Structure 1
């Protein structure tokens, strides 16, 4: 590796593009306005609720072949009971829930007690299904999965989302209109109200720690509920948190902040936070606890940001137009993204993204990538060195540069690297 030190300072302009793996394995046609998606990892099937077509697209995870099943008017959400192989679809416009038998494809319809059903969650342990009715009266319809019999439980005003803790048999309902969370005891259907922030929009449960995380959309913070006491704490996130997911293996919580183009990572043990940049307007977030990968769906940039949970390094996967929802199959490591405006589902292979941490100097302060040769170059301010990283292998090497290297540029055509050294007003030219 040759280097030349020029005794003058110049302005460097560089254009570097990071190489990306081909993560998209298939694009599957769906119905009009695919709105929600859920996976049954036991059968390796994905179920996509097509709001504009009044049907469900069923995707075979092994072949990506698709079939359709008719639902009611305006299928708005979908949930799976992997134990019974039943799929539950709330239809917001005709106030029904379509129940699909995953083995036969036969359907039945639940109507009693429903009013603008907009969200659904299943407790596979008790075979109970909980449906949020998004009206001012504020109720949750409880469906007995064995008989389809129903009963209603009163909650707060305009409930919007819910989550189940199958370990404690508690159900947590985010009430968007009354700034509260209703806790339902799954055994007795008794309720308790817990104060949350303004416009609670999403909720997630860590069944290992018995903590509940509520994204308050009209705020910049998350409400954390202790499931044992119903005591609360707040954690700063960012503007307009609108989605939240938990990795129970690592005890990390991931919050998508719609207006900030980032995901805040909360350490569940300490409530300390870190921030990861993602695409524009992240609307949904999902986690694969097996691979420790997190997927942020960005409606504004039509892509998915993949976060390595160990390092917070990221990659970007282009998908369809207006991606709106995502579901993860942790068994096959496949991820299904519903693209609302392009009537399609993008299938992402989770094995396509691997993040590597390479050792550099004490104070790395600038980085550039050569996409042709697959190398990254990192300057170290304090050690006056340039580290060269082979992106494929993670192997590194280094060379001396000038004093306090501050900026770096790469010319992939000539294979030259230019390092601007702040203290001694020089540029080091490295023949890579």
Structure 2
């Protein structure tokens, strides 16, 4: 009992000392910016050449990962922005996810229908996993990898241990992909919808209308939030009813979106406005706008609580 109490006390102390870090890739500027969404303070901006887009913060292992599309490299940084290593990849690497259980990185290839499995600790490419054509967004939970296969208008549900794969049809050109409460939510860019797929059954259970050219999906306070590139808006829907409840005006060509660790705010990267906005999840109001280097995209799980 005493050991359990001490563990809980230590855990609480660690969480109390944590603050959110947003790692924002700027494709035009070739930069990675680390900022505090709560205060708007920019902690660091470091060079990241090669037109970076996808990014993921692995707070548990003290790493930030980003994919440079033009130079075909996976860059690995510590939480201060110090580069640890680079991993050269083939094809046209784009999407990125980190398995929360293992810390392994998964990078999708637009040129060949595959995902690279990479050990960020060593830089070793462990294997290639077959997907549908033009895999874009990636998400992983409990040994299941889900890829949004853009040109197949489908999701691939792949068991990482066995390679067993199920294919689920969704809307036209699925791109951003987020898992939430046993379901996959994918932004169908050309259909102007979000497809909702039950991971257990592999069936599409709902289709939610969005603004024009949806790109990515995030969740906070029992609502889903979808960036609409052409609309310069975020579409909001109720997670229980799977119905649209409103829209939020944001900057021009919004792309990446992610919740803060307390679920009370969302961070949105506005590609053409060169800014990041922070949205209050309860009021749906933009409470902060932070100027970014040219072309912020932040595609992926780019916000996390760090020590």
TM-score w.r.t. length of structure 1:
0.47
In 1, distance between residues paired with 2:18 and 2:166? 34
Aligned twin of 1:230: 123
Of 11, 14, 23, the residue aligned with 1:130 is 23
Unmatched segments (≥5 aa) in structure 2: 1-14, 243-307
Paired residues, number: 226
In the TM superposition, residue 330 of structure 1 has moved relative to its aligned partner by: 5.9
In the TM superposition, residue 305 of structure 1 has moved relative to its aligned partner by: 1.5
In 1, distance between residues paired with 2:34 and 2:83? 12
In 2, distance between residues paired with 1:327 and 1:296? 7
Relative to structure 1, is the Cα distance of residues 211 and 331 closer, same or farther in structure 2, using a 3 angstrom cutoff? farther
Unmatched segments (≥5 aa) in structure 1: 1-82, 85-123, 354-432
1:158·1:175 contact (CA, 8 Å) conserved in 2? yes
Q: Does 1:303 find its partner at 2:193?
A: yes
Q: Counterparts of 1:234-245 in structure 2 under 5 Å?
A: 234-245=128-139
Aligned twin of 2:155: 263
In the TM superposition, residue 323 of structure 1 has moved relative to its aligned partner by: 3.9
Deviations 1:133-167 (A, max 9, x none): 3247x432334677935444344422222111010
1:319·1:339 contact (CA, 8 Å) conserved in 2? no
Q: Counterparts of 1:27-426 in structure 2 under 5 Å?
A: 125=18, 127-135=20-28, 138-143=30-35, 148-186=41-79, 189-232=82-125, 233-247=127-141, 250-288=142-180, 291-329=181-219, 331-332=221-222, 334-341=223-230, 345-352=234-241
SS in 2 for 1:351: coil
Relative to structure 1, is the Cα distance of residues 341 and 182 closer, same or farther in structure 2, using a 3 angstrom cutoff? closer
SS in 2 for 1:167: helix
Deviations 1:114-142 (A, max 9, x none): xxxxxxxxxx9464442323247x43233
1:156·1:181 contact (CA, 8 Å) conserved in 2? no
Deviations 1:256-299 (A, max 9, x none): 111110111122333432211111111221110xx211111212
2:186·2:217 contact (CA, 8 Å) conserved in 1? no
SS in 2 for 1:348: strand
1:172·1:183 contact (CA, 8 Å) conserved in 2? yes
In the TM superposition, residue 328 of structure 1 has moved relative to its aligned partner by: 3.5
In the TM superposition, residue 180 of structure 1 has moved relative to its aligned partner by: 1.1
1:284·1:326 contact (CA, 8 Å) conserved in 2? yes
Relative to structure 1, is the Cα distance of residues 126 and 181 closer, same or farther in structure 2, using a 3 angstrom cutoff? farther
Determine which structure has more spread, i.e. the larger CA radius of gyration: 1
In the TM superposition, residue 324 of structure 1 has moved relative to its aligned partner by: 1.3
SS in 1 for 2:240: helix
Aligned twin of 2:296: none
In the TM superposition, residue 343 of structure 1 has moved relative to its aligned partner by: 5.8
In the TM superposition, residue 205 of structure 1 has moved relative to its aligned partner by: 1.2
* CA RMSD across the alignment: 2.9
